[in-house]
Amino acid sequence: MKPLLELVDVHRTYRIGESTVNALCGVSLTIERGEFIAIMGSSGSGKSSLLHILGLLDNPDKGEYRILGNNVNTLSEDEQAGLRNNVAGFVFQQFHLLKRMTIVDNVRLPHIYSGLKGDFRHEAIERLKLVGLEKRMDHTPNQLSGGEQQRVAIARALIRDPLLIFADEPTGNLDTKNSGDIMKILKGLHDEGKTIIMVTHEPEIAAWASRVITMRDGVILADERKAGLDPSVETAQEIEFETHLAGNGALWRDGRFTGFMAQAVQSILANKMRSFLSVLGILVGVASVIAMMALGEGAKAAMQEDLKSMGSNMLSVRGGSAKIRGAAQGAGAVARFTFKDVEDIARLRSLVKNASGVVNGGGRIVYGNKNWSSTVTGAGYEYGTMRAVMPTVGRWFTPEEIQRREKSAIIGVTVVKELFGSSNPLGRTIKINRINFKVIGIAPAKGFSGPQDEDDVVIIPVTTAMYRVLGREYLSGIFVEVTESGKIDQAKIAITELIRKKRRLKDDDDSFNIRDMTEIQKMLSSTTQTMSLLLGSIAAISLLVGGIGIMNIMLVSVTERTREIGLRKAIGARKSDIMMQFLVESVGMTISGGFIGVVTGIGISIILSTFAGWAVKTSLISVVLATAFSALTGIFFGLWPARKAAELKPVEALRYE
């Protein structure tokens, strides 16, 4: 029959600074099932190192360690963690209870790493009854005495019904009475058939054991048995060992992830102020992203409204060179356009949908005792639909009114405000350059286009403007609406050839120019997109800074919770479990900050829209992007601290000061 545990010529050496410490020097030992062993020795004798190797918290540098005849030195770290969770229970001198949890949650903690589904609260309560703490199960460790905390640690060690119980100075921090109570519990467990391996330096505690091993300078000096044992190792144990090596189950198919989430919430709430300050960085970043993108989208929407006022597929034909705008031209250098040119361009039916001549000038507008200087635009019949200026109140000119040179006017909202205030201007008579005009409509509001107020305008029939108000013989320009956007270039070529042919102009003559309004649209759209990108980038930097804050807090948390990490590894946590534990906390904080930031960002957008009058538009994509980016920030910046925590060795973490 194979022994339960077997050490063969085991050596363990530690480096402390520049010194080398030989903790174990060729230790060989056999332990049968059902024994109660006390390992004694002075400080530095190697007793704790021996216990750590037996408990799979550490590995020997040389030699073999066998459980039921299986060499466990060849197992991976995760496989050893699975064995610890399934076959071993640990009772530590420092108790190692998590203070933010109730004692029931502390007791059932090993089940998170077992791969079994369920909350196991009932099992934890039963173990607490075994140690006499069923009436205090909803208390936290801080509410218990030292003896009670050690009993909780024993209950935790029993929750997985282990083959072995390892006790490292279980009474080292207790008084005589509590020490006796703890030893009675351990003796009772031994009587029930548990194998107990205990480290102690007190002879009266070692007296409870049936076998006492004494160590000095890394070797066994004595191995005394108080009573003969005839243990029997059943074949079923070997099968059980193979089962324990099968692993703890997949993270997403068992209850571990749910447990990680619950513990992450507990950890975050345990340090409320620090967690809030960490979340605040993400909150500000996400709120900035939402608000800035809302501003960008609002600006884009406002720009699109402005672009609609230009009309679709529009060309503007003007006299003079496009290269010398506003400069005086020499004689014959500027082409003069008439209504005949408008008619000729309109006949290009395959390319042109509408054409309308316009004439522009300034005028003094008077109503009663109020007067205002405004832009006067003479427009043809098609101009209203082409340039999207059909009155929202009132009507547009009829062809007959244009032909008769009627004195009718459509005024912009700025002119309405300056001359009429809040009263209705329809049907009223105004003077334009001392000539009476009847107001028949109000042009739709367009806002500002650069420095120019598009609503500070008076539109009158083009014939009236030329011959009665401005005294012009030629049009200021011609607006041409192309049938479809794909034919704009063809239309520009056809109109250019038509004008050159009528005027017998050379190919290099630049006495007129044709401007494509879609080019202006593209330029404005590009500018708006660049502005949105810039605002989003600035906000993303805020989110990045928040992520760095999360990483800093998680690194501090890893340092503060080093012993906790050691405990989790001792009770069966694998590297992936520790990484996931800290990643869930990191992502939990960033997503919490993200959700609050989304609400805050939307609120800021509403405030900007309501009180500042800015154009804002919160889009679903910005909310999704900000939330997703906050989660990715948590993963990215939480990965390094989580990896650092996962790489800690159990025994080193438990010893951390």
- Within this chain, do residues 600 and 490 fall inside the same structural domain, yes or no? no
Phi, psi of 336, deg, nearest 5: -105, 130
Instruction: Give pLDDT, residue 256.
Output: 64
- Residue 214's pLDDT band (cuts 50, 70, 90): very high
Q: Flag whether 258 is in a domain.
A: no
Phi, psi of 614, deg, nearest 5: -80, 150
d(CA 581, CA 646): 10
- Bridge partners of residue 364, in order along the sequence: 373
In the numeric block, which tokens belong to residue 9? 């010529």
Residue predicted with more confidence, 408 or 517: 408
d(CA 641, CA 560): 12
**What is the per-residue pLDDT across 501-549, written as a single tens digit (0 to 9) for each?**
888 888 777 788 888 766 666 666 676 677 667 766 776 777 677 777 7
Q: Flag whether 516 is in a domain.
A: no
Q: Flag whether 574 is in a domain.
A: yes
d(CA 642, CA 424): 70
**What is the per-residue pLDDT across 265-306, written as a single tens digit (0 to 9) for each?**
777 777 777 778 777 877 877 777 777 777 766 766 666 566
- Residue 409's pLDDT band (cuts 50, 70, 90): very high
What 3-state DSSP class applies to 639? helix
In order of 65, 88, 426, 429, the CA distances from 420 in angstroms are 100, 91, 10, 11
Burial 64-85 (b: 16+ CB within 10 A, else e): ebbbbebebeebeebbbbbbbb
If one counts the domains in the chain, the total is 3
- Within this chain, do residues 354 and 281 fall inside the same structural domain, yes or no? no
Q: Which long-range contacts (CB under 8 A, 24 or more apart) does 540-543 make?
A: 540/285, 540/289, 540/629, 542/281, 542/284, 542/285, 542/288, 542/289, 543/282, 543/285, 543/286, 543/288, 543/289, 543/626, 543/629, 543/630, 543/633
Type of residue numbered 591: I
d(CA 48, CA 136): 32
- Within this chain, do residues 37 and 140 fall inside the same structural domain, yes or no? yes
d(CA 195, CA 206): 15
- Within this chain, do residues 428 and 400 fall inside the same structural domain, yes or no? yes
Question: What's 169's domain CATH number?
Answer: 3.40.50.300
Instruction: Give pLDDT, residue 322.
Output: 59
- Within this chain, do residues 487 and 451 fall inside the same structural domain, yes or no? yes
Domain around 284:
267-305+523-654
Q: Flag whether 256 is in a domain.
A: no
Per-residue pLDDT at 167 exceeds 60: yes
3-state secondary structure string across 282-297: HHHHHHHHHHHHHHHH
Instruction: Give pLDDT, residue 25.
Output: 92
d(CA 142, CA 103): 10
pTM, to two decimals: 0.62
Chain centroid to CA 617: 21
Chain centroid to CA 560: 25
Instruction: Give pLDDT, residue 252.
Output: 41
Q: Is the dihedral of CA 147, 148, 149, 155 positive or negative?
A: positive
d(CA 365, CA 29): 111
Closest CA to 345 of 479, 465, 475: 479
- Within this chain, do residues 287 and 343 fall inside the same structural domain, yes or no? no
- Bridge partners of residue 375, in order along the sequence: 362, 457
**What is the per-residue pLDDT across 588-634, written as a single tens digit (0 to 9) for each?**
887 888 788 888 888 877 887 776 556 666 667 767 777 777 777 77
- Within this chain, do residues 30 and 147 fall inside the same structural domain, yes or no? yes
Q: Flag whether 181 is in a domain.
A: yes
Burial 318-330 (b: 16+ CB within 10 A, else e): bbbbeeeeeeeee
Per-residue pLDDT at 111 exceeds 80: yes
- Within this chain, do residues 298 and 358 fall inside the same structural domain, yes or no? no
- Within this chain, do residues 490 and 570 fall inside the same structural domain, yes or no? no
Per-residue pLDDT at 27 exceeds 90: yes
Q: Flag whether 328 is in a domain.
A: no
Q: Are 55 and 5 in contact (CB under 8 A)?
A: no
Instruction: Give pLDDT, residue 236.
Output: 41
**What is the per-residue pLDDT across 422-433, written as a single tens digit (0 to 9) for each?**
899 999 999 999
- Residue 78's pLDDT band (cuts 50, 70, 90): confident
- Within this chain, do residues 478 and 549 fall inside the same structural domain, yes or no? no
Instruction: Give pLDDT, residue 73.
Output: 85
Average pLDDT over every residue of 456-480: 93
In the numeric block, which tokens belong to residue 138? 């909803």
Q: Flag whether 493 is in a domain.
A: yes
- Within this chain, do residues 300 and 167 fall inside the same structural domain, yes or no? no
- Within this chain, do residues 94 and 131 fall inside the same structural domain, yes or no? yes
**What is the per-residue pLDDT across 239-271, written as a single tens digit (0 to 9) for each?**
355 555 544 444 444 556 677 777 777 777 777
Q: Flag whether 255 is in a domain.
A: no
